[in-house]
Amino acid sequence: MFLRVDKLQIELPAPKRQDPNAGAALQELLGGKYGEMSTLGNYLFQSFNFRSKSKLRPFYGLVAAITAEELGHVELVSNGVAMLNNGPDGDDDETDGGDVSGAPYEAMKDIRLAAAFYSNAGGATPVNSNGASWNADMVTTTGNVIVDLLHNFHLECGARLHKLRVYESLTDPTGREVCGYLLVRGSVHAHAYALALKKITGVEIEKMLPTPNIPLGNIPECQKYLNAGSHRRLYTFSPDDYAEIAGVWGGGETALPGDPPGELEVVEGMPEGGKIHQLTGVPSAFTPDYAPEEMFEIAEKLYQKSR
């Protein structure tokens, strides 16, 4: 079972301007082969299909707990996409007057992923930066623990590379913050899968990290997460389960050489998180609708009634 908490894993800065091509760039980290839908989909189905769960608890727990974190990553990138497509935080009481006849969205015809406006009003969907859908070909779940863990290690390394390149193409703080945070957390996951593989096979595969060969410290947006020790911390993302991942992550092992030093630690639960930004409705785009005032009023009454 899964529970949901109405927060993002981190506090995101609001975009400075609307930039649909930046939103589309971030889609590569959502629906691309090495995007968050893929990390989620792989670990989700691997955790369901895991054999001999009770005999392999620290390894099963690792895949299961990281799955929950990946759900939050999908959420974070999706929020980033929608925010960049919509622009600075706004005010629902300011409307655009409601004349739809003057081609108010002419600019949308020339953006890269025009369908993201036409069909989704700038919302995120599980497609890559070219608009191609995420799909089951991006899921590896073999039932063999070594093959799955090795796949996951390679996936996190590849994902790191893709995050770096998307980061390098963005100037807006929202997208850059998403990338910075995911780079730190992706490094944790790569490290964790490496340690799991080392426990089982004896191969010190964590010595391949960082791949690509650039320390997190070179990315300004990673600094605050490094300072806070996020790179040494694995969360159980569970009220009561998965603490046994400490068998893999911790027990005296330490941060990767290029990162701020310290012991690896398991945190039961989740990070503090940050607020979910409002996506201001745009009546002329029919979000939440053309004339939403009555809907707002109904919702307000229902909300009061529910307290």
CB of 261 to a copy of itself, least distance (A): 21
CB of 139 to a copy of itself, least distance (A): 6
Residues in contact with a copy of itself, counted by CB under 8 A, come to a total of 171
CB of 262 to a copy of itself, least distance (A): 19
Which residues, including other chains, have CB under 8 Å from residue 153's CB and lie 6 or more apart? Answer: 190, 193, 194, 197, 205
SS3 101: coil
CB of 230 to a copy of itself, least distance (A): 15
Q: In 3D, which of 76, 85, 86, 81 has the Cα closest to residue 273?
A: 76
79 binds a copy of itself (CB under 8 A): yes
Angle formed at CA 164 by CA 122 and CA 43, multiple of 5 degrees? 75
CB of 149 to a copy of itself, least distance (A): 10
Stretch that binds a copy of itself, among 148-156, 224-232, 256-264 (CB under 8 A): 148-156
49 binds a copy of itself (CB under 8 A): yes
261 binds a copy of itself (CB under 8 A): no
DSSP state, residue 274: B
Q: In 3D, which of 121, 124, 116, 107 has the Cα closest to residue 284?
A: 121
17 binds a copy of itself (CB under 8 A): no
Q: CA–CA distance from 206 to each of 69, 107, 123, 263 (Å)?
A: 21, 47, 37, 15
SS3 235: strand
Stretch that binds a copy of itself, among 19-27, 224-232, 254-262 (CB under 8 A): 19-27
Stretch that binds a copy of itself, among 226-234, 253-261, 274-282 (CB under 8 A): 274-282
224 binds a copy of itself (CB under 8 A): no
Which of positions 92-111 make contact with a copy of itself (CB under 8 A)?
Answer: 92, 98-101, 103-110
Per the structure block, which two tokens stand in for 303? 């909300």
Nearer to a copy of itself, 200 or 260 (CB): 200
Stretch that binds a copy of itself, among 1-9, 225-233, 255-263 (CB under 8 A): 1-9
Exposed e or buried b for every residue in 236-250, given b needs 16+ CB within 10 A? bbbeeebebbbbbbb
Q: In 3D, which of 161, 198, 205 has the Cα closest to residue 183?
A: 161
Stretch that binds a copy of itself, among 225-233, 253-261, 284-292 (CB under 8 A): 284-292
